[in-house]
Amino acid sequence: MPSIERRPLGNSPLSIAPLVFGGNVFGWTADEATSFRLLDRFVEGGFNGIDTADVYSRFAPGNEGGESETVIGKWLAQGGGRREKIVLMTKVGMEMGPDQTGLTRGYIMRAVEDSLRRLQTDHIDLYQSHRADEDTPVEETLRAYEELIRSGKVRVIGASNYSAAQLRAALDASEAQGLPRYETLQPHYNLVHRSDYEAELEGLCRERGLGVIPYFALAAGFLTGKYRSQADLEGRPRAVIVKNYMDERGYRVLDALDSVATDLDASAAQIALAWLMARPSVTAPIASATTEEQLDQLMGAARLRLDEEHVHRLAEASR
């Protein structure tokens, strides 16, 4: 099997394969044993980026947050060189409980210790601000990260869900004051959700040399093609998201995915991921799986190459 290329994460020393495993499913729709098998298979396939957040999966009934990090930590604790083989990414800033939210220095210092404990590691490779905190000066947040980088608990920092104005302000503050800068952006971006990223963020990331790791790369499963009617959404946990794509444009995108998939003897999910991977500004999309069969499909996308006509066909369908 040919080796998987590694792409740099901004100007940092980190590099990742062109697909990141989204850890939101761990401790939610994938139990511990299943999660362990998926993580092992992912690394054995030549991939190394694993993304999670402290808040995963607080959104699930009965969960408190921290479940995903806990599962990953137990997997890492099995040893076998697992920690050295991965680029471990997590996030801070979403609400974890009363007085447990935001990007103040005090909260970051508490939250990182909780994440390190759950992850059973002494450092986080990429620590990301899960969303901007308009109530905290950006310099305070960046100085907290500077302390963590100096202590060795964090290697690189990134941002998620930032607007172009918020990201630019943070990058300018880093440059003006000699503080660590966000080396990555994690935006919501896929074939049916394009304008938010492409309007301003994409140009800014290319101009400033940030790595980009989009989430919802498969539009909560819509771009796999398994949701073709309202009946397909019955009982699905992400139906509230997917239903937003079930319109004329969404079905047009599915038709284009089917067409390109037929040309390349691939699946719709693989083509949707390959389209993102082919985007010059994108480092690696994030995607999740709950079975080994699903994961094998996703990993196969990294070996696909879309030609210009395929890229154009998909882009036109999604306008």
Q: Domains in the chain and their CATH numbers? A: 7-186 (3.20.20.100)
Name the residue with tokens 């959404």.
233
Amino acid at 5: E
Where are the strands (E) in the chain, listed by range?
7-8, 15-16, 20-22, 49-51, 87-92, 124-129, 154-160, 182-186, 211-212, 286-287
Residue from 56, 162, 215, 227 carrying the catalytic annotation: 56
Question: Is position 215 annotated as part of the catalytic site?
Answer: no
Q: What is the pTM of this model?
A: 0.96
Q: Give the Cα separation of 285 and 225 in Å (integer).
A: 18
Q: Give the Cα separation of 49 and 20 in Å (integer).
A: 5
Name the residue with tokens 């997917």.
242
Q: Give the Cα separation of 180 and 213 in Å (integer).
A: 19
Written as tens digits, the pLDDT of the chain (319 aa) is 457 899 999 999 999 999 999 999 999 999 999 999 999 999 999 999 999 999 999 999 999 999 999 999 999 999 999 999 999 999 999 999 999 999 999 999 999 999 999 999 999 999 999 999 999 999 999 999 999 999 999 999 999 999 999 999 999 999 999 999 999 999 999 999 999 999 999 999 999 999 999 999 999 999 999 988 888 778 776 778 888 899 999 999 999 999 999 999 999 999 999 999 999 999 999 999 999 999 999 999 999 999 999 999 999 999 9
Amino acid at 191: L
Query: Residue 46 is encoded by which pair of tokens?
Result: 């030549």
Burial of 166 (0-12, 13-18, 19+ CB in 10 A): middle
